[in-house]
Amino acid sequence: MKQMQRHTLCELAMPVKLLFTGYLLTIGFGLLMAGGQIMLTHGMADGKFGLSVDDIVYSYHGQPGTKLESKLNGSMKDMAPPEVRLALIKWAHNGAPINEWETTIKPHVVKYCSPCHSNMPGLVNISDKAVMDTMTKVDEGASVSTLTRVSHIHLFGISFIFFFVGWIFTYATGFSMMTKGILILTPFAFLILDVVSWWLTKLNPNFAWLVIIGGFTYSLASTVMIFTSLYQLWFKDCKLQID
């Protein structure tokens, strides 16, 4: 039976090469920005830069103390002087008494918090006492509604990224069919593991390790496919491959 000839990455027409290259470069840059965003949000949950198991536990399972305290000791630590943070934390520990709100607490909030929280989309306005009341409750981590919303966004959106990266990688050479198949499947499998691990960590903090493993593995597999595809598009000697 006559075997079908199949183009490799280096044999593609120039417009297709440019299309694939533009997509891979944009996705690669987007993944870097996503990593930076994770470091500045989840990575600061314990007040220290860098993603750790504690960061994952605090973000999804919660931690002792109030949401206000976890923010002031974490991602918002540098947004107010230590004495102001201490005053806000003590106020929350004392049950957030209403008689201290207008005279003592709200002026601090207006000065140090409101410039961002009152003007930036997506940030709650904590100068509103009703909103602040939700921040002085015990930190129980991500809510079920938040996990549901973020889970479906990640599963739908990121799977499209992995689909097209994997599809471009199918034109790569130098890999056995088994190796190529594992690399293509890995991001999907570990994306599912990553999202499921959020829910498991919400229930039990011992599952936090799975979140790190899932995110790291699908990022690594995607990086291998992106760099391999870019290299073979422009730098590999072009030879006709027979499948």
**Which of 92, 110, 135 lies at the terminal end of a domain, its last residue?**
135
**Which of 92, 107, 135 lies at the terminal end of a domain, its last residue?**
135
- Per-residue pLDDT at 208 exceeds 70: yes
- Per-residue pLDDT at 89 exceeds 90: no
Q: Match 């593995």 to its residue by tokens.
A: 217
- What is the structure's pLDDT at 238? 72
**Which of 135, 159, 174 lies at the terminal end of a domain, its last residue?**
135
Check if the beta carbon of residue 216 is closer than 8 Å to that of residue 53. Answer: no
Check if the beta carbon of residue 147 is closer than 8 Å to that of residue 198. Answer: yes
- Residue 222: domain span: 9-43+141-234
Confidence of residue 4 (pLDDT cuts 50, 70, 90): very low
Q: Which residues contact 216 (CB under 8 A, 6 or more apart)?
A: none
Same domain, 92 and 200: no
d(CA 92, CA 90): 5
What are the residue ranges of helices labelled H in 7-141?
14-40, 53-56, 67-72, 82-93, 106-108, 114-117, 129-135
- What is the structure's pLDDT at 243? 43
Same domain, 147 and 203: yes
- What is the structure's pLDDT at 113? 86
When pLDDT is averaged across residues 7-15 and rounded to a whole number, the result is 91
Token digits for 153? 């966004």
Q: Burial letters for 74-108: b for 16+ Cβ neighbours within 10 Å, e otherwise?
A: bbbeeebeeebbebbbebbeeebeeeebeeebbeb
- What is the structure's pLDDT at 154? 94
Looking at the 3D structure of the chain, how many domains does it have? 2
Same domain, 229 and 210: yes
Burial class (CB in 10 A: 0-12, 13-18, 19+), 197: buried
Its sign, for the CA torsion 209, 211, 212, 218, is positive
Token digits for 195? 């999202």
Same domain, 150 and 216: yes
